[in-house]
Chains A and B, each alone.
Chain A
Amino acid sequence: MAREPKNDPTDRLLSLYEGMLTIRQAEERLKALFADGEVPGFIHLSIGQEAVPVGVSASLGPSDTVASNHRGHGHALAKGIDLDGFFAEIMGRDSGLCRGRGGSMHVADVSIGMLGANGIVGAGLPITLGSALAHKTRGTDAVAVAYFGDGALAEGVLHECLNIAALWSLPMLFACENNGWSEFSPTDRQMKASLKDLAAAFSIPHVEVDGNDVEAVEAAAAECIAALRSGAGPRVLECRTTRVRGHFEGDRQDYRSPDEIAGLAATDPIARCRARLAELGVDAGRVDAIGETIDRRIEQAVANARGAPEPSFAAAAADVYTAAEG
């Protein structure tokens, strides 16, 4: 899904729309597969948050790196991860990106700079920091992006990373998806300081953006990432967004008010993008065709995963360590 930069504003918006819709439709499909028992374990959906990774990834290339969290499907897909390998992994098949050893919370492809979703809140941050250190040490203009939620604001390691990134002027983007929820609790009951306050404490420029407006995210991220590439040091990009589903699939969300849940649809970044495309005069049929193409691609990925063999236990056991050469 890595997209070529588009100069025409309509083409660019269509490309962002396609990116978001790919994530949405992939997760809707995962939701159904989970309900049918074809996806085991836990899955955490990012429905409602798609504008963030798509807006950020519009400024990323193959040598840039990202690390993600438990709600990481969108981050992986926006970085350009292979759709077949993505579905096969989450469905626990040998053809999965991680050969069925990681699942939804560990989707990764280091070869394209996707350093892994992560099951531990905040854990992707120091990994991103080290990746940014590698980019700087090697003298490239690559950047490293950590996606994290507002729940991670309370993790001590975030504070360590903000400090070191600022101290060493590392090319690291702290991309926060602030959806207001720290798992099952509102973040304002868990966190005294704001991310803006934390960024200021370490003299890191902080940009806040409507995280459900993909054009706004794209523009803000482009500015931040250009600063990183110029050696200006880290940036914090705080995207206000919306978690539509529960913390994990199966979470009934009875801790959220009915009013809040009723209002979620109005914040949908994809509906907003579609309305904007209509304003720009894009034909509805052309927009619909994008969704149909994605659906066909997803159904093919699901069919491929269903037809793929179960993972090999022997191969898994042999991959704990790197095999000796020769």
Chain B
Amino acid sequence: MAETRYGKAINQALHDAMAADPSVILFGEDVGEAGGPFKATRGLQETFGAERVRDTPISEAAIVGMAVGAALSGLKPVAEIMFMDFVTLAMDQLVNQAAKARFMFGGRNSVPMVLRTPHGGGLSAGPQHSQCLEAWLAHIPGLKVVCPATPADAYGLLRAAIDDPDPVVVVENKALYALKGEIDDDPAAVPIGKARIARPGRDATVVTYGAALHTALQAADALAGDGVDVEIVDLRSLQPWDEAAVLASLSRTHRLVVLHEAVEAFGIGAEIAARMADVGFDELDAPIVRVGAPFMPVPFAGALEKTYLPGADDVVAAVRRTLE
């Protein structure tokens, strides 16, 4: 085991995938010489050359469309969209082309592409550089969506995404790039669709993903001081999501909170809550509580953004509600 940072784990995953398979190529804005806006691709162009690690113009629709075309023509492209907010400029290619080219063409071909993009607030990046739009993508049949919370999962999910025959959107979190964590010396892919128990507990389950995992862990520590033992399920994959793991945890604790940084309304949490209210109805001893951002754009000023982002206090209050 060694300690590494989330951003470095992404870099290592890209490096290892490119070393293992010459059909893996990278492209995106500033991913080459500049090493990426968050340095996740640092050094890769030097190692693998400018043919395999390409700096693109600021042309998001073309970036994602190129990934589709390259994937249909024998490569495994890993494209980067600098901020998740900019995926709006590439939605036709992602939603109408990448997601449908397998189904629409009779299932005779796959589209083995990866789109990496960071979401999330906390950096005072303002309303157009902070959004968590993953629920949009998880709503589209044909796309897979993963969202790693730790360096080990950042490595393992990205390797799995590159190996996957279907289009996978890897949603990173800007606030996590510097996060340190343990990673195996010879790390493996993390299967898409499998959740992880990040903290075992008896009294209530908090289901979450991405940076909100760390908020949930803080809340669990606070509640432990009061004798409340919280289990935390880190989804890791959002589409497909691990319904069995969430149901198993609910069956142990009988209380459920769903937490994410994205806007609460119409979010991933709504889907999980609806499914658990159905398949987990007999296990529930209390209403399912959602915790997410309020229904407003992500504000810029530090004081505003701090209030906007779901915090450990919000999670503590939600868990207490399920115990009332």
User: Which residues of A are at the interface with B, using a C-beta cutoff of 8 A?
Assistant: 65, 67, 96-99, 101-102, 106, 108-111, 115-116, 118-120, 123, 125-135, 137-138, 144, 156-157, 160-161, 163-164, 167-168, 315-316, 318-322
Q: Is the CB of A116 within 8 A of B101?
A: yes
Closest to B107 in A: A319
Q: Is the CB of B70 within 8 A of A321?
A: no
For B106, give its contact among A98, A125, A126 (CB under 8 Å): A98
A-B contacts besides A98-B104, A137-B75, A161-B62, 8 pairs, CB < 8 Å: A106-B104, A110-B109, A126-B62, A127-B68, A129-B66, A131-B69, A133-B69, A137-B70
Q: Is the CB of B102 within 8 A of A320?
A: yes
For B165, give its contact among A109, A137, A163, A322 (CB under 8 Å): A322
| Chain A residues within 8 Å of B102, by CB | 319-322
A101-B106 CB under 8 A given contacts A67-B69, A127-B72: yes
| Chain A residues within 8 Å of B75, by CB | 133-134, 137-138
Give the Cβ gap from B194 to chain A, nearest Cβ, in Å: 12
Q: Is the CB of B103 within 8 A of A130?
A: no
Complex Cα spacing A17 to B283, Å = 71
| Chain B residues within 8 Å of A123, by CB | 65, 92-93, 96-97
For A133, give its contact among B64, B70, B144 (CB under 8 Å): B70
Complex Cα spacing A1 to B108, Å = 21
Complex Cα spacing A129 to B109, Å = 19
- Majority-rule SS of B interface residues: loop
Closest to A161 in B: B62
For A135, give its contact among B56, B73, B108, B166 (CB under 8 Å): B73
| Chain A residues within 8 Å of B66, by CB | 126-127, 129-130, 133, 164
A126-B70 CB under 8 A given contacts A137-B52, A319-B107: no
State the interface size on chain B (CB cutoff 8 A): 41
Q: Is the CB of B69 within 8 A of A134?
A: yes
- B262-305 vs A: 1/0 string, CB under 8 Å? 00000000000000000000000000000000000000000000
**B37 close to chain A: CB less than 8 A:** no
Closest to B58 in A: A160
A130-B166 CB under 8 A given contacts A125-B65, A316-B103: no
Closest to A134 in B: B73
Q: Is the CB of A321 within 8 A of B62?
A: no
| Sample (23) of A-B pairs whose CB atoms are under 8 Å apart | A65-B73, A97-B105, A97-B106, A101-B105, A110-B109, A111-B109, A123-B97, A127-B68, A128-B69, A131-B69, A134-B70, A137-B52, A144-B69, A157-B65, A160-B61, A163-B59, A164-B59, A167-B57, A316-B103, A318-B107, A319-B102, A320-B103, A320-B142
| Chain B residues within 8 Å of A129, by CB | 62, 65-66, 69
**B54 close to chain A: CB less than 8 A:** yes
**B127 close to chain A: CB less than 8 A:** no
**B162 close to chain A: CB less than 8 A:** no
Complex Cα spacing A316 to B96, Å = 17
Give the Cβ gap from A95 to chain B, nearest Cβ, in Å: 10
Complex Cα spacing A144 to B141, Å = 28
A321-B144 CB under 8 A given contacts A126-B64, A130-B66: yes
Chain A CB within 10 Å, residue with most, of B70, B72, B73, B142: B73
Give the Cβ gap from A114 to chain B, nearest Cβ, in Å: 10
Question: Which 8 pairs of residues, A with B, have the shortest CB-CB distance?
Answer: A126-B65, A130-B69, A319-B107, A130-B66, A134-B73, A160-B59, A160-B62, A127-B69
| Chain A residues within 8 Å of B144, by CB | 321
Q: Is the CB of B70 within 8 A of A130?
A: yes
Give the Cβ gap from B309 to chain A, nearest Cβ, in Å: 33
Complex Cα spacing A126 to B79, Å = 13
| Chain B residues within 8 Å of A115, by CB | 69, 72-73
**B51 close to chain A: CB less than 8 A:** yes
Q: Is the CB of B97 within 8 A of A127?
A: yes
Q: Is the CB of A319 within 8 A of B103?
A: yes
| Chain A residues within 8 Å of B200, by CB | none
**B25 close to chain A: CB less than 8 A:** yes
Give the Cβ gap from B285 to chain A, nearest Cβ, in Å: 35
**B45 close to chain A: CB less than 8 A:** no
Closest to B63 in A: A126
Complex Cα spacing A130 to B73, Å = 8
**B67 close to chain A: CB less than 8 A:** yes
Q: Is the CB of B142 within 8 A of A137?
A: no
| Chain B residues within 8 Å of A130, by CB | 65-73, 77
Q: Is the CB of A99 within 8 A of B54?
A: no
Complex Cα spacing A67 to B51, Å = 23
A321-B109 CB under 8 A given contacts A127-B72, A134-B73, A163-B59: no
Complex Cα spacing A65 to B65, Å = 15
- B100-129 vs A: 1/0 string, CB under 8 Å? 011111111110000000000000000000
Complex Cα spacing A96 to B110, Å = 18
| Chain B residues within 8 Å of A118, by CB | 97
| Chain B residues within 8 Å of A168, by CB | 54
| Chain A residues within 8 Å of B107, by CB | 99, 315, 318-319
